[in-house]
Structure 1
Amino acid sequence: MPKLARALQQLPPATAAAIEKLGADLAVARLRRKESLKTWAGRMGVSVPTLQRLEAGDPSVGIGIVATALWLIQRDGELGKLAAPEHDRGALEMDVRKAEELGRARALASAEARTVKRQSKR
């Protein structure tokens, strides 16, 4: 049995659960379309065992295979939105913190400049 990549061993539990749900949802989509594993795997260009791993939520299945499965059910358009910068909360929060820090720094500099100006007028 191949060694599991360290990144997969460190997969957060919520992420692992989401991958398992995606696999189960893809299995349901295939079954609702009354497609066999063999037919669906053939349409995807993968082996039946690979499709079974995908449907079981195996996180080592390649993203291209996942994308192809999503394409088969006409959901691949969502891939382009998954990591879109406008939805990156962590980066947005960092941008807000930087803006707040800049605002505080400018307010402090302005206050100091006013103080210096007042003192020079005396």
Structure 2
Amino acid sequence: MPKTARALLQLPPATAAAIEKLGADLAVARLRRKESLKTWATRMGVSVPTLQRLEAGDSAVGIGIVATALWLIQRDGELGRLAAPEHDQGAIEMGVREAVELGRARARASAEARTRAAPKKD
């Protein structure tokens, strides 16, 4: 029995569900094209059991196999956008927080410099 990677055992439930849906959607795409498992697997360069695992939502199926399946249905172009920095909401929010903090730090430094530079009243 193959050893399961720890990362696969720790998949968040929503991510595991999304992978299962992707597999089911790929199965629907194959069936709508009236392709058999054998023909589709041959076109992908994989075995029928591997294709069955993909369609069942097995998270251990390699990303290259997933990419090939997406290519067959002309959806592989989406791969380049999945983790694009301009869509990384967490990093965008982090950048905004850092910019706000930088602005506050500069405002404090400016206020302190004005206070030091102000002439003392006797």
Shared topology, TM-score over 0.5? yes
1:42 alignment partner in structure 2: 42
Aligned residues: 121
- TM superposition shift of 1:121: 5.1
1:8 aligned partner, one-letter code: L
Tell me the alpha carbon deviations over residues 75-97 of structure 1, each in whole angstroms, 9 at most, x when there is no partner: 00000000000011111111111
**Structure 1 moving runs of 4+ over 2 Å:** none
1 CA distance for matches of 2:94 and 2:120? 41
SS in 2 for 1:16: helix
Q: Mind listing any 5+ residue stretches in structure 2 that lack a counterpart?
A: none
The correspondence of residues 77-116 of structure 1 with structure 2, limited to 5 A, is 77-116=77-116
1 CA distance for matches of 2:104 and 2:68? 49
Per the normalisation by structure 2, the TM-score is 0.96
1:6 alignment partner in structure 2: 6
Per the normalisation by structure 1, the TM-score is 0.96
Q: RMSD of the alignment, in Å?
A: 0.8
2 CA distance for matches of 1:116 and 1:107? 14
Q: Mind listing any 5+ residue stretches in structure 1 that lack a counterpart?
A: none
- Identity among equivalent positions (%) equals 86
